[in-house]
Amino acid sequence: MIKVGIIGGSGYTGGELIRILLNHSKTEVDFVYSTTRAGKKVSTAHPDLLGLTELKFTGEVNLNVDVVFLCLGHGNSTKFLNENSFSESTRIIDLSNDFRLMEDSIINGRKFIYGLPELNKTAIEKSSCIANPGCFATAIQLALLPMAKANILNNQVHVNAVTGSTGAGVSPSGTTHFSWRNNNVSWYKPFTHQHLGEINESLKGLQENAGEIMFLPNRGNFTRGILVTAYTQFAGTEEEANQLYKDFYKDAEFTQVAEEPINLKQIVNTNQCHIHLHKHEDTLLITSAIDNLLKGASGQAVQNMNLMFGLKENEGLQLKAGVY
């Protein structure tokens, strides 16, 4: 059994990670670290786990676990690793944005590989440290990677994406308060979102002159999921676009190209990304959908763990959406 440690287990991503790992046939959760809830049952923070585990949060860290997941706020993973030296055999999977960019990928002699399996599967399998991609970054990259790989992402790309309130984290804020969020939609960080850095690095790694990404993120009045609509010029037919995407993702465990228009319900509570293509005159519309807490965070982190330990990629991740 793979002994797992979780740092920062009281948030949304920590909770989803615990849920997956408790039902993973090859893992044993060794500890769940929390400075604010040490000694309390994990189910006090995650009531959906009541009756499924007697685990308690701890304020102590086992530095010799097989793998540790860092579910900390952005900037805190660097601080934590500087203060805690895990054994050389411990694999590290970080869910913050601390190590996603190449210029930030090395800390204390450890090099982090960008953990998007559809792009870096071979490197992930050989790595001991993974920088898990951002949620918006995952959905947008999966929508655009096939075009960049084909060297045809030549024009400006307009991206509009809406995310559920869980994307803002468990700590309450003015824009996650029910009275504000319910029956409401708004944009934020127009054209400057922090995930653009990792998106551009991946796309330009495939196509150096890839077109500019004009990204407008939106807050949705629902709890989980991301729906991306991206459009750009495309000279081919819709059939050629579909073949391009199906060829690119033919070996992808969790990314599917749909024949019919897609919606959030079909991917929420799964590690899937569904993609749909629609051609209008000279414009290709690419729609992608993921669960921001699973394929956009904890599910993808476990997918990366599976690859690192030579397990089946879908181990513990055969989850079904509730579409009704």
Which residue numbers are catalytic? 135
Write the DSSP string, 15-83: HHHHHHHHT-TTEEEEEEE-TTTTTSBHHHH-GGGTTT---BEES---TT-SEEEE---TTHHHHHHHH
Polymer length in residues for the chain: 324
Residue with tokens 């540790």, as numbered in its chain: 68
Cα angle 28, 34, 38 (rounded to 5 degrees) comes to 95
Write the DSSP string, 16-27: HHHHHHHT-TTE
- Which residues are CB-contacts of 225 (< 8 A; sequence separation ≥ 6)? 163, 164, 264, 267, 268, 289, 290, 291, 292
Residues 11 and 70: beta-carbon distance below 8 Å:
no
41-77 exposure pattern, b = at least 16 Cβ within 10 A, e = fewer? ebbebbeebeeebebbbbeebeeebbbbbbbbeeeeb
Residue with tokens 């708004």, as numbered in its chain: 186
